[in-house]
Amino acid sequence: MKIAIASDHGGFALKQQIMDYLAELGYEYKDFGCFNEESMDYPDIAFPTAQAVASGKFERGILICGTGIGVSICANKVHGIRCALCGDILSAQLTRQHNDSNMLAMGGRIIGSETAKAITRTWLETEFSGGRHQRRIDKISALDR
């Protein structure tokens, strides 16, 4: 699975830790920025990352900003993206099972690195349940058209 990952300055430190963790787990990823802790605008990294996932070049994407809110709002503006802001393991599991989320957002100033790693692993390893949930995804996708 190929993963697109990005952060703004508020999520930079956590992104570095998550990229190390992805490598540990054997995932291939591409860093879409930012590349230091200088202040920058989160839409500048969120939109290109979400577009890379929506295009099919990457199966999933991870976005991190200070709270995770800004990047998740941006990502969800991109056709075909279902980005979930998660701060706990159960939400990460359920957003994959029920919502087939293809992007994960986290808050670098909100959760610690061990929690973020557990969320990431759960989100990557959990499969979509399909069934009645597919009907709901289809209704969401209809609005994207």
User: DSSP string of 101-130?
Assistant: -SEEEEETTTS-HHHHHHHHHHHHHPPP--
In the CATH hierarchy, which top-level class contains the domain 2-144? alpha beta
Written as six digits, the tokens of 125 are 């390893």
Tally helices (H) and strands (E) across the chain. 6, 5
Cα–Cα distance, 91 to 105 (Å, whole number): 11
Cα–Cα distance, 98 to 90 (Å, whole number): 12
Could you tell me the pLDDT band of residue 145, with boundaries at 50, 70 and 90?
low
Q: Which residue of the set 34, 65, 83, 86 is catalytic?
A: 65
Indicate if 98 belongs to the active site.
Answer: yes
Cα–Cα distance, 36 to 98 (Å, whole number): 35
Q: How many CB atoms lie within 10 A of CB 120?
A: 24
Structural domain boundaries in the chain: 2-144
Indicate if 9 belongs to the active site.
Answer: no
Segment 80-121, tens digit of pLDDT: 999 999 999 999 999 999 999 999 999 999 999 999 999 999
pLDDT over 70, % of the chain: 99
What pTM, to 2 d.p., does this model score? 0.96
Q: Which residue of the set 74, 79, 83, 98 is catalytic?
A: 98
